[in-house]
Structure 1
Amino acid sequence: MPKGIIIDRYLYPEFLDLKLKDINLMNMEGKEYGIIVANHINAVNIVDFNNQMIINDVDRMELKHSIAGALNPTMFIKQGENHHKIVDYDERKDTQRIFTNEVYTDIFVAYEVDDLEEGLKEDNKISTKALNEFLLLYRNISRMPSIRAIDNITDRDILFFRSDREYIEGEDNNKFVENLAGNMPYTQVPVFIKMSHNSWSPSQTNETISEVIKERLRFDLLISDYEELIGKAAEELHYFKNPKYAYLDTFIAIESYVTEKITEYKEHLGINSNKIKHYKTEITFAYKMDIELPMILKNNLTEKEIQLIGEIKGFAKKRNSVVHSKEKVEFHEANNALEKSLIFFKLLDEKFKVLYE
């Protein structure tokens, strides 16, 4: 019954701008995981309309028309919204190849098991669940709507590999981080073309994102309900181009956030748990915004902050029209709601933090 580490490796089809080979420790459901971004792979997908695999003179498979040297200065690039397209007319004149760049992030998810043989018999559901939590946390901090949970990616391939490392006799099995640091099966990969991205707010440096994620993981602060919703809203708007669902998800995120903040404060004051449970399910959003929030904040708001809260309250009217009257939502309306909600979340974070001091 050998104890050791299972290392699940994912080639994830997006660009995670994090420090390379830096160990992110995450505790989820009582189990510790080490998540490491090992490398960025900027690959090229080649569509050759007049090519095929053939068996050569030594009974090996090869392409009928070699693609060696295909990436050459004669190609021209068409800038797409989320990718580059390269069209190459080669010397055969009767065909063309289309190149599209595909970016991957090489991610390791490692965790300890008491029995390697039994652990290796299980599928990768455990590590996938941990990676999904990490990806959603990254999406909300980096504000990149193209980052999706593994289960929600159907249009790109996700490559998966598994390896393991057995602890040897006399080794300190309690030093999970030290055991990870020197035992990742890193490999070097070539870089061809880097993909461009759309963000739903100004991007941060990878050092900043890495620091924020580490701080969140250190306190076991994984993705909250409202954060998951606001990330989903950004995905709907910027990735799937669906402003209606983006708007609705944004409003649900706002409702969830306001309820969470006020509930936490009531618990801090020692209010009866049954009353809090009733509050969470029975009290309307309008009452929370019009009565509860001003009372808690004691009207300690600037004119600009009052205006922002007024805008947030106004989103409810639009939301009701969308749901009940099938009113259309324009892109700029959904984008405005999304951006204003982020400012609102930050404002309440600061205001409620003062209440606990």
Structure 2
Amino acid sequence: MDVLKDFKEKAASNLQTIIFAEGDDERIIRAAAEVEAEKIAKIIILAEAESIQKQAEEYGVDLSGIEIINPEKSEYIAEFTDEFYELRKHKGIAKEEAEKIVKDPLYFATMMIYTNKADGMVAGAANATGNVLRPAFQIVKTAEGISTVSSAIIMVLKDKSFGEDGVLVVSDCAVNPAPNSDQLAEIAITTADTTKRLLGFEPRVAMLSFSTMGSAKHENVDNVRNAVGIAHKNAPHLKIDGEMQADAALVESVGSRKAPGSEIAGKANVLIFPDLQSGNIGYKLVQRLAGADAVGPILQGLAAPINDLSRGCSVDDVVNLTAITAVQAQN
């Protein structure tokens, strides 16, 4: 896929240090070796060195050139304990508890980023999204001006007539179960920004519903319609429209009938789902039934590049998300 080739080439042009927090996972070990071989990023794996080297030998994988750190015995433990204690002492945390927490690989990796010892993290192959996000919220926190962390997934379709030459960005499919209008508006704006920065094309954002421009009446429709208004007010420079059904957003002949006059209908390349259920179900249906490649989830709104894999991810998924994380870290 050209889009992934572009990410890898850009990542290789300015190597960033990316941490893999789940070093005992076979997919992570294989991906680390592949990233090193392709020179996409500098990789740090969190694991016990002897154990992971033994696993790598069993898999026929060469981890030469990859740094391995054991969070339980790292030279950084005292520094991270002090830093984390300062961050969380207002919550009543004790120093002993802080030390125990920073030895957790997900917390340790996030502290590596916080103290500028690494540029980004890829995790989630063996952890739920909540486990990946918790240390991120507590340590690096949200980017300036952002209150809603969300996720974007890049869908690369075989049918090039949809989206931007077959590329769609969809959100939010991993983080917010039931966003309100303000949150939906921020998700739309953040996803448009992610699309522009990572993919370089002009985002045309459709905010999805089971209604198109007032064809149905329901509080769920009102939530999306209100979000469109908020997005227009907060980001008038962006092309955002809705509410609209998926076919009206993606198919020009349908869009022209259901939403005449809309510059987005039938031409959307960014889709904002109204809630997590529809987003997660929707992207996985497209991925499995249409044979689309789904790259992500890419977390957006955090102050540092921390990305969450699906627990069903493949080695290629890890490599691809690493390339994207590295590109995010360059910005």
- TM-score after normalising by structure 1: 0.28
Larger Rg: 1
Higher relative contact order (CA 8 A, sep 6+): 2
TM-score, scaled to structure 2: 0.29
Q: Which is strand-richer, 1 or 2?
A: 1
